[in-house]
Structures are given as structure tokens and as C-alpha cells.
Structure 1
Amino acid sequence: MRLAWILGVFCFGVCADEPGAARQQELENMLKHDCGSCHGLPPKGGLGPSLMPDALAGKNDALLFDAIRNGRAGTAMPSWRPFLNDAEIRWMVGRLRQR
């Protein structure tokens, strides 16, 4: 039971609820076009802050997840909860770290 919990938490880089290939392509497009419209192309900053890996290095995944899921009050950052499920948000956070 404990091993199953550990595997569920860490996923060894491949979570069962990871978006499929077609959805990943849609999420890539969203990162480029939707996020890029405020964060820049490449996402070095604009209306929103830089999303480059070096700029995100000091931010933990939970903070990034929360920003995408719930937005940021008092800023132009909207909540993406109506459009993305939690697995998709986790995938996007991981993808942002790889850019």
C-alpha cells in the first residue's frame, strides 16, 4: 500500500493522468499563444513576468500550479481552472521548467 502511494505521488516522471499526445500539443499551443500574449514570445516577460526556467528556478511547483489554476488577484493573470484540469496544469508546470 505504501509503495503504491509513493508511486502515485512521485509518478517517476510519467503520471497515469498525464495528458495524451494530442492534448499535450494543444497545451503547447496554449503556452505559446495564450501565455505568450502576456508573458512574451519567447516568454521573457511583458505584461506578465518571465516564464523562462532561470526566472522560475526560485519558485516551487506548488506556487506555479496555484498561479495557473487560480490566477493572481490584482494582476492581469486569470484563472485557467475553467480550461485546464489539475493534471494538465502539472504538465504545463513541468513543461515550463524544460524550456
Structure 2
Amino acid sequence: MARLVAILLALTLPAQVGAVPPQRAEELRHMVRQDCGSCHGLHLTGGLGSPITPTALAGRDPDDLTALILDGLPGSAMPGWRPLLNEDEARWIADYLLQKEKP
């Protein structure tokens, strides 16, 4: 009976929030370097887009950054990435950008 309850709970509970498999994390790192870097600069220190270094983003709320990544910034060149990313992936990118030292 306990096993059945565990299986039912596993089927009804959402997947772990923020879980991004290692292979997808590598793809997202590449996306940040290539796609984000094309506007925010090779070292993310600014270009067409503003700097998105940990220093430039210090104090920013990760949830706000996640929404910005997903929905873009109206009136600017920042597109929304919602067609290509899910919320966990966008949150992974937000957390990645806020890290002082990147893996």
C-alpha cells in the first residue's frame, strides 16, 4: 500500500522546480554566450543591450529576470524567449547570470 501511495504522489506532484538536466544546462550556457551575447556583448558587458553581468544585475530579483527573459521588454530590442524556453529554463538562465563565477 505504501508503494502505491508513493507512486500516486510521484504522478500527481509537479516535477522539481528549476530542474534542468545537465545537457540542457550546457545548451542554455551556449545560448547565453551566443544569442544573449549577440546583443549584450561578447562578455555580456553591454552592446545594443545593457550589461547583464553579475555586477550589473546585483540586487535584481531572479523572478523578475525570469519574466524579462520569457516576455522581453516592450519598447526595446529585448525579445521574449517564451516560444523557445520554459519557465524552469528561463529561471536557470536568470540564476546563471546572477552567479559571480560561472561554471
Q: TM-score interval w.r.t. the shorter chain?
A: 0.7 to 0.9
Which residue of the partner structure matches residue 87 of structure 1?
88
Q: Aligned partners of 2:18 and 2:57: how far apart in 1?
A: 24
TM-score, scaled relative to structure 1: 0.80
Q: Distance in 2 between matches of 1:27 and 1:39?
A: 16
> How much does 1:58 deviate?
2.8
Q: Cα RMSD between the aligned structures? A: 1.2
Structure 2 gaps, min length 5: 1-15
Counterpart in 2 of 1:48?
A: 49
Percent identity, aligned pairs only, is 45
The structure richer in helix per residue is 1
| Structure 1 CA distance for aligned equivalents of residues 37 and 58 of structure 2 | 19
- Name 1:18's counterpart in structure 2: 19
Give the unaligned 5+ runs of structure 1.
1-14
Structure-2-length-normalised TM-score? 0.78
TM superposition outliers: structure 1 runs of 4+ over 2 Å:
none
The CA deviation string for residues 31-72 of structure 1, in whole angstroms up to 9 with x for no partner, is 000000000010000011101001001321122111101001
